[in-house]
Every structure is written in C-alpha cells, then in structure tokens.
Amino acid sequence: MENKQFGKKAESLINLKKEGLFDKNLLILPELPSKDTFFSLLEKNGFKESSDLAVRFSSAQKNTNLPRSIILSSFEQVYNFVKENLNNSLTAIIHDFVIPKFSGTLTKNNNQIYISLINGAWEISSSKNCDEITILGDKAKILFNPHKKECLFVNKDKLEKKIIQNNEDNLIKVVKTIFEKLNNLNLKENLFYEFIVSEDNNLTIMEYKDLSFNIPSFSNEINDYFEIKEYGDIDKWDKHKDIVLSLIIEREEDEKFLKIAEYIKRFKDKVYVKYGLCSHPAILLREEGLMVVPFNQKFQVLEISLN
C-alpha cells in the first residue's frame, strides 16, 4: 500500500503535527501490522498503555460519517478497534484522547476570525446549539444563546446528552482564553480548523480543511420567513418567503439534507441558518452554491474587548 492516499483528515493532522499545532502523540497507519509490531509502534510514538487513546479514520474518497472511537483505555482495545474498521479505503489515525470542555470550528478571513463554539463535543446534531463569535483585532462580537440547549459530553466510552445553560461570564472567559491561544498559533487564512478546549483550558487543533468563503454579517432582522424544522416542512413552503433552516441533522443524513438544499436553490440563492457558519450543514449548503447567513432571534449580542 505504498501509494495509498491517506485522505485529507490524516494529511491535515500530519501537517498540524509538523507545524506544532497538534501537540499530542500521533500515529498514522495505512495498514494493520502484526499485533506485536502495532504495540511497538505505539510505544515508539510516545503512547502509554495506561493513557486514554482515540482512533479516527481518514479516507481519500469521503470525509464524513467515518468510524471513530470515544475513549480506548488499552493498546489491546486500540488494536481491536483498528482491526475491526480498517480497510483498503481507510487510513487509521491514533492519538491521545482530549476530553472536550468546549469544541468548535474556526476560520480566518481578511484577518477576521469566525468561531462556532459548543459546550462539550462537536457533533453534527449539535450544529444549531452553537454560540457564534467574530473577532477583529482585539474586539469580539458574540452571539450568545442564553437559553437551555442539548449538548454532548464524553462519559468514559460514550457520548452523553445533557441539557445545559451557558453563563455569560463563563462564555466570555473561554472566548478570551481561545483568543489568547490563537495569538500563539500560526493559523492560515481560508482554512477551516476544528478545535477542542479541554478542562485545563488548553486549545488543541484537531484537523483542518480547505474552506474559502466570505464571512457574512449576522442577521435577526428578517420578519417574513419560513422556517424548516423537519424535513417534511419543505412541502409547505410557498417558494417566495426567505428560508430559515433549523433541521437537526444526524450522521449519515447528508443525502437527505442535500435534497432540501437542491430544492431551495431552484428558487433562492441565499438561506438563513441556525447553525454555525463552519458547521457541517453550512458547509453542505455552500457546496450546493447557496449563500449562508447565520440567524437566530434568541441570541443576545455581546461586544467585548479581549485585552
């Protein structure tokens, strides 16, 4: 498998490691060696038998809905998970597990930074529960969701749903922490970075993708709109009112969601969303050729200095 393509996920982590943006132990495996060799490779790359580890997969053919573990607590578990899922189209990514206090995505465009931030773990189904932040210079504008929302948190080997309510002061504190960490990172323009903020307030970049788009202004000023909360709602749309999308999208629902996007595009070139601009649904909409504008009437606007 010398010529096997690793896929963008694995390639981005290799580059992040070289650039010092991913500071965890990392091992990329295009094929599965013997168990003894596998264990030896883990040790040579700095992994400890007693550490919490994670396995993800990368593919040159697809970027979504790939297998991934939560916490694996032994080399044996890691080996078995890789053996169960690795095939000719996948490359295994093994790294130290980072337990997320917050997760998010960010992109930098014309020196402006846009961040979608969620409590706990970043999942497709959490896309509309983000707080949204734009940073220009040392000033931040936060669209803060003060209401209760469902988020996912790591609980040993599974993700557990919890209803949480953000505290304004705590959110401002984590935004300032992220800003401070970003000042020490050489982030490139027009890339889409996924990150985790751990309990000790360390920021870890988990991967990046090519993502070039102009950051639009936030809007909560449209009054005459039609909101799609469930897939069947599209049949009730009059094809004239502006569309606001708030569908909850689960893993493996890309095709179903894209059919909605294709239909909207026949009548509109813009769609308002209650998702983060860097979330998976927003990316799919842009790939379909629609302009995506964040919208949420429940947001409170906070403008702060980051110094």
User: Residue 200 is part of a domain; what is its CATH number?
Assistant: 3.30.470.20
- Summarize the confidence of residues 218-225 as an average pLDDT: 70
pLDDT at 146: 83
Could you give the C-alpha distances from 299 to 153, 219, 275, in angstroms and in order?
23, 10, 12
| Same-domain check for residues 59 and 155 | no
C-alpha span between 280 and 257 (Å, rounded): 11
**What's the pLDDT band for 235 if we cut at 50, 70, 90?**
very high
Residue 32 scores a pLDDT above 80: yes
- Summarize the confidence of residues 24-53 as an average pLDDT: 95
pLDDT tens-place string over residues 70-123: 899 999 999 999 999 998 889 999 999 999 999 988 888 888 888 989 899 887
Domain membership flag for residue 23: yes
With residues binned 3-state (H G I as helix, E B as strand, rest as coil), the percentages for the chain, rounded to 5, are: 25, 35, 40
| Same-domain check for residues 278 and 243 | yes
| Same-domain check for residues 106 and 209 | yes
Domain membership flag for residue 1: no
| Same-domain check for residues 91 and 104 | no
| Same-domain check for residues 156 and 198 | yes
pLDDT tens-place string over residues 242-300: 999 988 777 677 788 889 999 999 999 999 988 777 777 888 888 888 988 877 667 78
Number of independent structural domains in the chain: 3
Determine contact, residues 55/94, Cβ cutoff 8 Å. yes
pLDDT at 63: 67
Domain membership flag for residue 302: no
Domain membership flag for residue 236: yes
Q: Helix axis angle, 280-287 relative to 254-265, nearest 10°?
A: 50
Greater confidence, 2 or 270? 270
| Same-domain check for residues 107 and 197 | yes
| Same-domain check for residues 160 and 180 | yes
| Same-domain check for residues 112 and 89 | no
- Which strands sit side by side in the sheet containing 100-109, from one edge to the other? 203-210, 191-198, 100-109, 112-119, 131-136, 139-144, 300-305
* CA gyration radius, the chain: 20
Boundary of a domain, candidates 158, 184, 214:
214
| Same-domain check for residues 104 and 196 | yes
Residue 126 scores a pLDDT above 70: no
pLDDT at 72: 93
pLDDT at 217: 62
C-alpha span between 276 and 127 (Å, rounded): 6
Domain membership flag for residue 219: no
Domain membership flag for residue 22: yes
Domain membership flag for residue 306: no
| Same-domain check for residues 141 and 68 | no
Determine contact, residues 275/227, Cβ cutoff 8 Å. no
pLDDT at 216: 62
Boundary of a domain, candidates 79, 96, 113:
96
| Same-domain check for residues 206 and 104 | yes
pLDDT tens-place string over residues 42-79: 999 999 998 899 999 998 887 667 888 989 999 999 99
Q: Model-level pTM?
A: 0.82
Length of the chain equals: 307
Domain membership flag for residue 15: yes
pLDDT tens-place string over residues 193-211: 999 999 888 899 998 887 6
C-alpha span between 186 and 274 (Å, rounded): 30
- Summarize the confidence of residues 222-241 as an average pLDDT: 90
| Same-domain check for residues 197 and 240 | no
pLDDT at 188: 85
Boundary of a domain, candidates 214, 248, 265:
214
Instruction: Note down the domain range covering 86.
Output: 8-96
